[in-house]
Structure 1
């Protein structure tokens, strides 16, 4: 049991205040260490009152997705059974990739309260202040290499379902964004190591603008419309609950594609996306493709109907006319 959980259990045993000496004796630490532990727990989001002569009292729980709290509520078989948590990190994706080659890394999740060098597709900077959900999931898939490009679709469905539990109407935008009212609320990144007939590992990075100031992020991005869950709702949401839901949904959809194939995943993704049938402009290395988004192929590529025929689009920045 991690020390925060041990220490919190001591506070929860008492209805009122617990003295510093009693906490020190029960935890087997010094009285100065008790104060250090209290400060750390407050930083983790727990509300702890302190009164001279009485001691400490736990009066509020955290909503941060810390491992010891997730372990109590997470119902998965492998995703999140091992969680690495950092208050600050350069990138959860970088740390997850460094762990991915280990044989027992399948399902490992790396979570951070903030990232200093978070990245999106094409190595673009992903702004990740405190208040969001920033995490990476390590998978060692048994699915064929040809299907690995559909993992962002699996993840997109998981993010969609998670956000929509708040009552918002999120939609999926090809290839790996989640939007609300044409504004980006979440993004997905995939890093893989594969051979011709085998996937060594896949690391899925997920960033959800949860309880963050989206206007501050938008001000630092040129021409990209950004929103957040709290901004849309007008109040903050519980990130511990959302992270639990997200990890459970990832495992559910991952098992679906692993056991049943791509058909269901693609059909569900299409239902949750509003891109099909709309006019789109795809930008690829200063080249523009204009047409109508006709369908999504079995490898996840976008079929665009142009004046010159159907073009199979594998990557690019897409602009949708609503």
Structure 2
């Protein structure tokens, strides 16, 4: 009901009386007041004047469904958005609700207190400075194909950035970088049994409007934000919708065609490592090689001194030999 009341406030430029709202929605004046109070707590600036009613003055910088629905053009992804001001981890919450959630449900938070990336690394997630969200997917595919969804997520972020006029590269398999520094990452987690996928959680974290001072000093050589790279504040709502629109487009293609040829082409074309000397790190073992390409299964082809090998994402990290990323 709160969302319906917000829609009415968006529609009206003038004041809406509490009496009129009560009649429209069949609620008491007290109930209307409580919904207004809740909207104010969400950050909406609402002017209340006796004998005039309520008027929406401004909307907050938040990334709930109400704020993106007009620019969200999806069929599967984002038809339901579960919004939180703060969470330990969007992936953690998404896993908890996945079994009872429809496919495409998104868990999004303004901040994460225990955000994490691949290989258990911490993901710093300050309040209203980035985009931190997880998508619940239930694809009809073999579990061995799930690794491709990480590349699908990376391609969606890369193209979503481009829709906003932002150039970036993909560091196989799950990082988005700008000028040699990480600006976004994808974490894919799967729940399956007996060769059947129950659900997949595709977590995406993007550093949007952090200043350099808001990034830990020890990460200055390897992490950045869109604000730092562009020099201007980026509209988080517009970026959120742009990435979701691309993700929906690519995911529908993946489900319908059972291939990701277009995704692989994006990952090859925008690769930060193909054609470069790299270091492949697996556990405590580091090996120098030359990244040759990405095969049709989405795996990295690397030429080592011992010959050409296929590198699987799993527990492997990739570094460019000439820089951290």
TM-score normalised by the chain length of structure 2: 0.87
Structure 2 partner of 1:164: 162
Say whether the 8 Å CA contact 1:82–1:107 is kept in structure 2. Answer: yes
Structure 1 partner of 2:140: 142
Structure 2 partner of 1:297: 295
User: Which sits farther off after the overlay, 165-174 or 152-161?
Assistant: 165-174
SS of equivalent to 1:142: coil
What RMSD in Å do the two structures reach over aligned CA positions? 2.6
Match 2:242 to one of 236, 240, 245:
245
Structure 2 partner of 1:282: 280
Structure 2 partner of 1:75: 73
SS of equivalent to 1:277: coil
1:172-183 aligned within 5 A: 172-183=170-181
Per the TM alignment, residue 142 of structure 1 is displaced from its structure 2 partner at its CA by: 0.9
Q: Does 1:105 align with 2:119?
A: no
Cα separation, 2, equivalents of 1:55 and 1:217: 44
Cα separation, 1, equivalents of 2:298 and 2:69: 33
1:184-223 aligned within 5 A: 184-195=182-193, 197-219=195-217, 221-222=218-219
Per the TM alignment, residue 149 of structure 1 is displaced from its structure 2 partner at its CA by: 0.8
SS of equivalent to 1:275: coil
Cα separation, 2, equivalents of 1:154 and 1:47: 38
In structure 1, the gaps of 5 or more residues are none
Say whether the 8 Å CA contact 1:147–1:262 is kept in structure 2. Answer: no
Match 1:59 to one of 53, 57, 60:
57
In structure 2, the gaps of 5 or more residues are none
Q: Does 1:226 align with 2:220?
A: no
Per the TM alignment, residue 63 of structure 1 is displaced from its structure 2 partner at its CA by: 4.4
Match 1:90 to one of 83, 88, 91:
88
Per the TM alignment, residue 222 of structure 1 is displaced from its structure 2 partner at its CA by: 4.8
Say whether the 8 Å CA contact 2:280–2:288 is kept in structure 1. Answer: yes
Aligned CA distance change for structure 1 residues 74 and 121 (closer, same or farther; 3 Å): same
Structure 2 partner of 1:155: 153
Structure 2 partner of 1:319: 319
User: Which sits farther off after the overlay, 46-55 or 232-241?
Assistant: 46-55
Per the TM alignment, residue 43 of structure 1 is displaced from its structure 2 partner at its CA by: 4.5
TM-score normalised by the chain length of structure 1: 0.87
Say whether the 8 Å CA contact 2:161–2:242 is kept in structure 1. Answer: no
SS of equivalent to 2:55: strand
User: Which sits farther off after the overlay, 75-84 or 200-209?
Assistant: 75-84
SS of equivalent to 1:89: coil
CA displacement 1:71-100 (0-9 Å, x = unmatched)? 443222221112211111111101111222
Q: Does 1:257 align with 2:254?
A: yes
Aligned CA distance change for structure 1 residues 100 and 5 (closer, same or farther; 3 Å): closer
Say whether the 8 Å CA contact 2:212–2:220 is kept in structure 1. Answer: no
Aligned CA distance change for structure 1 residues 117 and 16 (closer, same or farther; 3 Å): same
